């Protein structure tokens, strides 16, 4: 193929014209790379100047996709979600489902202010989220305004929370500039940041305390196991067996917890696969070490069985409650964002 390059002045727009016999996948990838040159230069310029015009940034971001051999030009607000389906990057937009020959990570950058990654295979537009729904085991999902639902991975949950806070804050900042003076803006921003820091500090401390209790229990169990074996007594052997049983039960819950983060399973399926096997393991282990003895009366046996089943379900319910509160907080931010954008 013959290639001709012409150097144009800086004030003249860069452009490329291709004369081809047909458009194939390789050519589409080349076109996608050419289309991204200006956006990469703009991103580098923004990084150097450290300034972005929030009101006009969305107008300069073009997104290109393909429906068959037709090139579809979209703006950032047109995009609902970008995800990987069957090893292809699919853009779900108001103009239909388009194929992109860019990588998913190319859309996960500050150039697209309203885009946020929610999982390894999906990026959503914050402005197109209808609500956030909680799930069991710390999982959450987002419902988009086209009716589609996508799961949020645990790794990306903090990212979407931070993105929502930043978007709301930027909107508040923009509105304040329009209506009040700069001193009020700075005071308002500092108050919001201080409030968030206090809230974050309390939550972090509570999480660290729970983690510390777990570490302490693990250390106690390990020490009990070792010291009981060294005691060479019937009581010591019994305590050592209890320590081993605790480890086995903990490993059971830890192994099957993988189902909580499965993005393709329903909440009911997650609940069944993540809790039923470890509850069964806990019951069997309890019988082996003597926590549950069939020599005891029916009331005692039933009490232990109920405890074995109810306790982990209660823990899961408590986690679900806090995840629901977190989802409600995120939905409140989404509603505030929509009101500010009107």
Range with the largest mean pLDDT of 218-232, 273-287, 308-322: 273-287
Asked whether the beta carbons of 65 and 91 are under 8 A apart, the reply is: yes
Strands 79-85 and 70-75: unpaired
Report whether 73 contacts 62 (CB < 8 A): yes
What phi and psi values does residue 106 have, to the nearest 5 degrees?
-65, -25
Pairing of strands 88-93, 96-100: antiparallel
Task: Give residue for tokens 């019994």.
Answer: 238
Q: Is the pLDDT reported for residue 200 higher than 70?
A: no
How far apart, in Å, are the Cα atoms of 336 and each of 170, 172, 226?
Answer: 12, 10, 56
> Using the 8-state DSSP alphabet, how is residue 129 labeled?
E
Does residue 123 carry a pLDDT above 90? yes
Position 268 scores a pLDDT of 82
pLDDT at 124: 93
* DSSP tag of 14: P
* Distance separating alpha carbons of residues 298 and 300, to the nearest angstrom: 6
Output the pLDDT for position 89.
Answer: 93
- Average pLDDT of the residues in 263-285: 85
Span 151-174, pLDDT tens digits: 888 788 888 887 777 654 444 444
- At residue 341, the pLDDT reads 63
Residue 2 has a pLDDT of: 64
pLDDT of residue 149: 87
Average pLDDT over residues 82-87: 91
Task: Name residue, tokens 């823990």.
Answer: 315
pLDDT tens across 287-306, in order? Answer: 898 888 888 788 888 888 88
Looking at every residue in the chain, the average pLDDT score rounds to 76
Sheet holding 70-75, edge to edge: 70-75, 62-67, 96-100, 88-93, 79-85, 122-125, 115-119
Q: What share of the chain is helix, strand, coil (3-state, %, to 5)?
A: 60, 15, 20
> Could you tell me which residues come within 8 angstroms of residue 164 by beta carbon, excluding any fewer than 6 positions away?
126, 330, 333, 334, 337
Strand runs labelled E in 245-307: none
- Residue 1's pLDDT band, with cuts at 50, 70 and 90, is low
Instruction: Inform me whether the pLDDT recorded for 4 exceeds 70.
Output: no
Q: What is the mean pLDDT of residues 101-112?
A: 86
DSSP code at position 109: S
pLDDT band at residue 90, thresholds of 50, 70 and 90? Answer: very high
> What is the pTM for the complete model shown?
0.56
| pLDDT bucket at 281, cuts 50 / 70 / 90 | very high
pLDDT at 135 over 80: no
Q: Could you report the per-residue pLDDT of 302-329, keeping only the tens digit for each?
A: 888 888 888 888 888 888 888 888 888 8
Query: What's the pLDDT at 60?
Result: 45
pLDDT at 174: 40
Q: Which residue, 95, 92, 149, 94, is CA-closest to 104?
A: 92
Cross-strand pairs, 125: 115
The answer to whether 79 and 65 are in contact (CB under 8 A) is: no
């Amino acid at each position: 193929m013959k290639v001709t390059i012409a150097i144009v002045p800086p004030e003249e727009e860069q452009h490329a014209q291709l004369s081809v016999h047909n458009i194939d996948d390789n050519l589409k990838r080349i076109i996608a790379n050419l289309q991204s040159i200006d956006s990469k230069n703009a991103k580098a310029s923004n990084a150097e100047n450290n300034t972005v015009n929030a009101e006009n940034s969305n107008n300069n971001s073009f997104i290109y996709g393909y429906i068959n051999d037709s090139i579809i030009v979209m703006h950032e607000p047109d995009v609902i979600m970008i995800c990987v389906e069957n090893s292809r990057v699919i853009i779900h937009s108001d103009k239909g489902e388009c194929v992109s020959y860019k990588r998913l990570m190319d859309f996960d950058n500050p150039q697209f202010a309203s885009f946020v990654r929610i999982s390894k295979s999906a990026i959503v537009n914050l402005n197109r989220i209808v609500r956030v729904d909680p799930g069991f085991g710390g999982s959450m999902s987002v419902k988009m305004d086209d009716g589609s639902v996508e799961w949020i991975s645990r790794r990306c949950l903090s990212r979407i929370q931070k993105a929502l806070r930043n978007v709301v804050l930027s909107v508040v900042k923009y509105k304040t500039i329009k209506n009040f003076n700069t001193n009020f803006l700075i005071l308002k921003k500092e108050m919001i940041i201080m409030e968030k820091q206090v809230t974050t500090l309390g939550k972090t401390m509570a999480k660290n305390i729970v983690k510390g209790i777990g570490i302490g229990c693990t250390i106690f169990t390990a020490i009990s196991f070792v010291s009981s074996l060294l005691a060479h007594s019937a009581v010591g052997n019994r305590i050592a067996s209890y320590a081993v049983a605790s480890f086995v039960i903990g490993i059971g819950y830890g192994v099957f917890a993988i189902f909580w983060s499965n993005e393709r399973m329903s909440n009911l399926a997650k609940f069944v696969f993540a809790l039923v096997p470890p509850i069964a393991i806990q019951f069997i282990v309890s019988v082996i070490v003597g926590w549950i003895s069939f020599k005891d009366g029916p009331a005692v046996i039933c009490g232990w069985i109920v405890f074995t089943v109810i306790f982990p379900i209660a823990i899961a319910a408590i986690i679900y409650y806090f995840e629901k509160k977190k989802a409600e907080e995120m939905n409140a931010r989404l509603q505030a964002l929509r009101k500010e954008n009107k």
